[in-house]
Amino acid sequence: MGVNEKVLSSIEMTTGTEKSTEIKAQYKKFIGRKVLFIFSSIILIFIIAGVAATIGDYSVTVTEVYSIIWHGIPKIIQNADFIISHGTTEFFRTYFTTEEKVVWGLRLPRLLMGILAGIGLAIAGTIMQGIVRNPLASPYTLGIASAAGFGAALAIILGAGFVTGKYLLIANAFIFALLSSFIIYGLSRYKGTSPETMILAGIALMYLFAAMTGILQFFGEAEAVQEVVFWMFGSLGKATWDKLFLIFIILSICIPLLMLKSWDLNTLGAGDETAKSLGVNVEQTRAVCFILASLVTASIICFTGTIGFIGLVAPHMCRMVIGGDNRFLIPASGLFGATILLVADTVARKLIPSVIIPVGIMTAFMGVPLFLYLILRRKKEYW
C-alpha cells in the first residue's frame, strides 16, 4: 500500500469514527428528550392534581392539600386492619379531621380516578393504533365504548343484565365491552388476524351497538334516557376507593405485560412480513395486545362512562413529540393522557359556578383545537 493510500485509509477511519460518535451522541440526546418528556408529565400531574384538589365549597390551599395527603399516609398504614374490617368511610369518620375527610374522602378519589382513567385509556389507544397500524384506532372507534354504552343503557332502561343489585350497570358495561373485543378478535381470527379485518369489524360493531342503544333510548322513559345520555358523556364524580382499587389492580397486571410487547409492536410498524422475518409471532402479539387493551378499557369505562377522546389524541400528541418507539411511547402516552384528563376535569368543575360539565365533553372541546394545531404545525409525517 502506497503512502497516499495509507493516508486516505486513515482519513476514512477517522471520519467513520467521528460519524459513529456523532450518531451515538444524537441518539443519547433523543433518548434524553423522551425521558425528560416522561418526567415532565409526572411533575405536571402532581401540580395539576394539587390545584384541582383545592376546587370545591370547602376552602383549602395547595400546600395544605399536599400536607394532608403526606400526613394521611401513615395513618392509613397504621390502621390498615381497621380499614379492611370496617371500610374506608368508617375509617375517615373515625380518624380524620374535616379537612382530611374533604381531601381524602371526596376530592382525592376523583383525582386518582382521572389519573388512572387517563393512563389506561391513552395506553389502550396507543396499543390499538400500534397493532392495526391505523391513526384512527382507539377504544371508541373500534366499538368497545359503544358496546359498554349499550350495556349501560340495557341496565338503566330495562333493568336487565348479568347480575342484580347496585353492580348491575357496572357489570353490564364491563361485560359488553369485553364481549365486543372478543367478537372482533373472533372475526379477525376467522379471516386471519389482519389490521384491516380488526378495523372493519370494530367499526361495524360500533354502529351496531350505537343503533341498539338508540332503539332503547327511543322506547325508554324520559328520565332513564337522560341518565343514559349523561352516563355516555363520561364522569369522574362517582369515584370511590373500592373502584380505584379494582382499576389499579387491572392496570398493574396489564400495563407491564403490554410493555413487554413493546419491541414486538415496534416491529409490527414495519409490516407483518418484516415482523415475521425478525421472529415475531404476529398473530399472537396482535391478539394478546388487543385483549389486554380491551380489558384495560372495559375496567375503566364501566366506572366512568364513555370518555372517547383520550385514547385517540394522547398517543398522537406524544408520537409527534418523542417519536413512535413503543418502549417510551406507551408510558409517555399514559402519563400525558392522565394530564389531559385532569386538566379537562378541573376546567369542567371550574368553568361554570355550581355546574360540573361532563368530562367527556370537555376533553373534546380542549383536545380538538390542540390536536389540529399540532397537525397543521407539523411539516413532516409523524406516523
pLDDT digits (tens, 9 = 90+) for 335-352: 999 999 999 999 888 887
Residues 122 and 334 sit within 8 Å (Cβ to Cβ): yes
Position 88 in a domain: no
Percent of the chain having pLDDT more than 70?
89
Which value, in Å, is the radius of gyration of the alpha carbons in the chain? Answer: 24
CA dist., res. 236 & res. 221, Å (int): 25
If DSSP codes are grouped into helix, strand and coil, which group holds residue 231?
Answer: helix
Whether residue 3 is contained in a domain is answered as: no
pLDDT value at residue 259: 94
For 74-114, the pLDDT digits (tens) are: 888 888 888 888 888 888 888 888 888 888 988 999 999 99
Determine the pLDDT at residue 8.
46
**What is the four-CA torsion angle of 26, 32, 34, 35, rounded to 10 degrees?**
160
Please state the pTM of the whole predicted model: 0.87
What count of residues does the chain have?
Answer: 383
Residue 149 lies in a domain: yes
> Considering its fold, how many domains does the chain have in total?
1
Q: Is the pLDDT of residue 310 over 80?
A: yes
Q: Is residue 222 part of a domain?
A: yes
Residue 187 counted as domain residue: yes
| 6 has a pLDDT exceeding 60 | no
In a domain, 271, yes or no: yes
Domain membership flag for residue 167: yes
Chain-centre distance for alpha carbon 159: 29
Residues 371-376: contacts with CB within 8 Å, 24+ apart? 371/313, 371/316, 371/317, 374/316, 374/317, 374/320
What average pLDDT score do residues 36-44 get? Answer: 93
Q: Give 352's DSSP letter.
A: B
d(CA 104, CA 110): 10
Residues of the domain holding 176: 116-377
Whether the pLDDT of residue 286 is over 90: the answer is no
Q: Lowest-confidence range among 36-40, 223-227, 340-344?
A: 223-227
Task: Measure the CA angle with vertex 44, ends 230 and 327; round to 5°.
Answer: 90
What is the CATH classification number for the domain harbouring 142? Answer: 1.10.3470.10
Task: Give the ranges where the chain is alpha helix by DSSP (H).
Answer: 3-52, 62-78, 80-86, 88-95, 98-100, 108-132, 144-153, 168-191, 195-219, 222-233, 241-260, 262-268, 272-277, 282-304, 310-322, 326-350, 359-377
Task: Let me know if residue 29 belongs to a domain.
Answer: no
Average pLDDT of the residues in 239-248: 91
